[in-house]
Homo-oligomer: A and B are copies of this chain.
């Protein structure tokens, strides 16, 4: 079907997506691990996917690369980033610096409605886990952390967190042990408990512990995704 049949119907197609929305959509796809590290993001494919001109796509890719979610290689194109172990450590160090404070601020500033939203969110998270809908579970896990940043009401740190949560999804995709999920929602529930108790210090401590657990579940010695190290792969026998 053609996109433009009747002018009125254009409203449903949202009259052309802004690059901001495109960035958001790609962020989401990366968070949900539907775009694994190293995936080629060709301009033409994205143009078709989003139904916009090349300029919009190029601007979106530039923004994504400035957030280090996309690797922009000259004359070669754009690829979903493949964080190195070093970058992974840096991302977690940044999160451990930001998020405990964010959690504390969020507790201090949360309204009754915020608490309701958090509770409702955890119900959804729980459901997704039990239904084994992996993508939805992953998405909601990340969303929980963003929800806290939103409640903390600091747009600067919220923006930082969007980048860090997205990159964390890539990191877990590469270095996460297969069995390990993104976040155990038990931890999230404990944090919610701290919110209901209005205990900022507890929220801060729980968040720090939560992040350490996640980082501890990574295997930062081995690299799985991205460019496979063929030397390492064929040097020794398979060990499984």
Partner-B contacts on A (CB < 8 A): 59, 62-63, 66-68, 87, 90-91, 93-94, 97-98, 101-102, 105, 154-157, 160, 164
Contact = CB atoms under 8 A, between A and B. Distances in A.
Contact of A157 (B63, B97, B157): B97
Nearest to A67: B66
B156 A91 contact: yes
5 contacts: A59-B62, A62-B63, A63-B66, A87-B155, A90-B157
B98 A97 contact: yes
5 smallest A-B Cβ distances: which pairs? A97-B101, A94-B156, A90-B156, A90-B154, A94-B157
Give the number of times this chain occurs in the complex, counting copies: 2
B62 A157 contact: no
A200 to B, nearest CB: 14
B59 A94 contact: no
Nearest to A154: B90
Given A62-B62, A97-B98, A101-B97, A90 B155 contact: yes
A98 B154 CA distance: 13
A160 B94 contact: yes
A98 B97 CA distance: 6
Contacts of A156: 68, 87, 90-91, 93-94, 164
A164 B160 CA distance: 11
A87 B154 CA distance: 8
A55 B185 CA distance: 46
